[in-house]
Amino acid sequence: MENIIETLTAQEKENLIAKKVMKNTTIFHEGDHCSSIGIIKTGHVVISSFSLTGKEIIYNSLYDNQMFGNNLIFSSDPYYKGDVIAKDNSEIIFINKEQLITLLTKNKNFLNIYLMYQSDFAKKLNATIKLLSFDSAYERFLYYMEINNNYTKIKSITSLANILQLSRETLSRLIHKLKKDNNIIITNKNIRLVK
């Protein structure tokens, strides 16, 4: 992903707010008004909520050069649908709505990359909807691997289970079976699908 901040001039960067956020800090709460976008300079941020049964649902997991708030800031309902939480020590650049409008109208390179982010988000959302349409854990796993070129790097089985909206136990059993049948190769935290 291209670094959108690098498209800005020194003068444009001067007006931005950079904040260092400690690990496990809630940056925004569900229901908070979105008045700026956040661009992650370094770190890891998730957007999550809880189901009625208390299970955490992670809507998005974001890393360096990715952004949040960009799908809300121009919305007719610009309120966060989940908590925005720093999962690691992070540095985030905030751009308020007025600054964003100025950058989008005056900096063509910024506009191009911003629109690419928006398009990629829409593609990712469509892929997630398709992923959730599969009933079986096996189909979800295969589809996820297919859209990631049959390879994925994971932090843990739990993190992958959250992405696939499966229980950790179900995914663990599936991975064990696929490994036993030589359908996947696991090295360190990398999983490769064998076709």
Tens-digit pLDDT profile for residues 118-132: 998 888 888 888 988
Report the pLDDT value the prediction gives residue 188, as an integer from 0 to 100: 85
Q: What is the DSSP letter of 103?
A: H
Residues facing 28 on adjacent strands = 84
Share of the chain above pLDDT 90, in %: 67
CATH 1.10.10.10 in the chain, residues? Answer: 135-193
Report the pLDDT value the prediction gives residue 1, as an integer from 0 to 100: 58
Q: Helix, strand or coil for residue 57? A: strand
- Residue 166: how many CA atoms within 13 Å on its side-chain side? 25
Q: What is the pLDDT of residues 130-187, one digit of tens each?
A: 988 998 999 999 999 998 899 898 888 888 888 888 888 999 999 999 999 999 988 8
Please state, rounded to an integer, the average pLDDT across all residues of the chain.
91
Cβ contact 94:19 at 8 Å: yes
Q: What is the pLDDT of residues 74-87, one digit of tens each?
A: 999 999 999 999 99
Report the pLDDT value the prediction gives residue 156, as an integer from 0 to 100: 84
For residue 55, pLDDT beyond 80? no
Which numeric CATH code is attached to 135-193?
1.10.10.10
- Could you tell me the pTM of the whole model? 0.76
Say which CATH architecture domain 4-131 belongs to.
Sandwich (2.60)
Rg (CA), the chain: 19
